[in-house]
Amino acid sequence: MRVLLTGSAGFIGSHIAEALDHEVVTADVRTGVDIRDPDALDRLLPGVDAVIHQAAKVGLGVDVADLPGYASVNAYGTATLLAAMARHGIGRLVLASSMVVYGEGAYDCPRHDRVRPGPRQVEDLAEGVFDPRCPLCGSVLSPSVIAEDAAPDPRNAYATTKLTQEHLASNWARETSGTAVALRYHNVYGPRMPRNTPYAGVASLFLSSLLAGQAPRVFEDGAQQRDFIHVRDVARANALALGAGTPGLLTAYNIASGTPHTVGELAAALAAQTGGPRPVTTGDYRLGDVRHIVASPARAARELGFTAKIRFEDGLKEFAAS
């Protein structure tokens, strides 16, 4: 199989390139290929059997000035790629999506069972009430596990454009009878993760602080839950996804370890691995952040044959030394 890999020079893309047992055609803005350029795509796509689409502007974003950049790269870039795939008769897509399309995760209310909360209120956050409240009775909710059939509820520009990518891929699949698989990555970490940028993931931000001799700053109370998954597990999931899916449809999979940890645990583990200063829990918050997002990886295990292999402790040890 001949595979076009967009974002091939990036953090996740570079690991996917190493994991694929196929002929790989690389495309990355760092090497002069912009997926928003139809002519560049027309030069790369002849003879390609499938596309793994990783190219994207990532991160929560700094402020509303980032909106055009996210829309241009993630939405317009994906639309341009899909149109080029249709021109060249390429019928298989693996799309890098994200857990951020869910917004908040799944929650249970002591009175109303499973509910989906709205955005957390500034008044609660300022008073240190970080867990969301029931939209029906106002009770503080308990986190549960979210599956792929949960309704999306993006809470920031990055999340909105990742969901847009899924919708565009679904449109493409229906109109071309193509096969589209969206891999909803949870918190990916590992070697080659970008550092010293406000768009980096939390693991990278913590490690950058530690390597500079500074204590990691943990927002809220540090108890927010995430599922941290190693980049090589994510790369393996992409390789498996090339053989999955149903013509005419987009199928989404949580790519997660299935074992959540708190952000505070992550900071403490990295501090221990590096011998750096202990984390500082600040109580600060960002309105675009969600509280808990814990995934069920059952569908990926059942349909892709994917389960994460790299343990949190082992992965962080490697990451801290990378």
146 in Cβ contact with 121 (< 8 Å): no
DSSP-derived secondary structure for 81-125: HHHHHHHTT--EEEEEEEGGGG-S-EEEETTTEEE---PPPHHHH
pTM of the predicted model, to two decimals?
0.94
Query: 265: part of which helix (H) or strand (E)?
Result: helix 263-274
Residue 237, token pair as written in the block: 């999931």
Per residue in 54-107, pLDDT (tens digit) is 999 987 666 788 899 999 999 999 999 999 999 999 999 999 999 999 999 999
Return d(Cα 305, Cα 30) in angstroms, integer: 33
Q: CA geometry: angle at 172 spanning 65 and 53, to 5°?
A: 60
Please provide residue 31's backbone torsions phi and psi, each rounded to the nearest 5 degrees: -110, 15
Split at pLDDT 50, 70, 90, the class of 137 is: very high
Quote the percentage of the chain above a pLDDT of 90.
89
Residues contacting residue 312 through CB under 8 Å, at least 6 positions apart: 228, 257, 259, 261, 269
Per residue in 9-65, pLDDT (tens digit) is 999 999 999 999 999 999 999 999 999 999 999 999 999 999 999 999 987 666 788
Residue 185 pLDDT more than 70?
Answer: yes
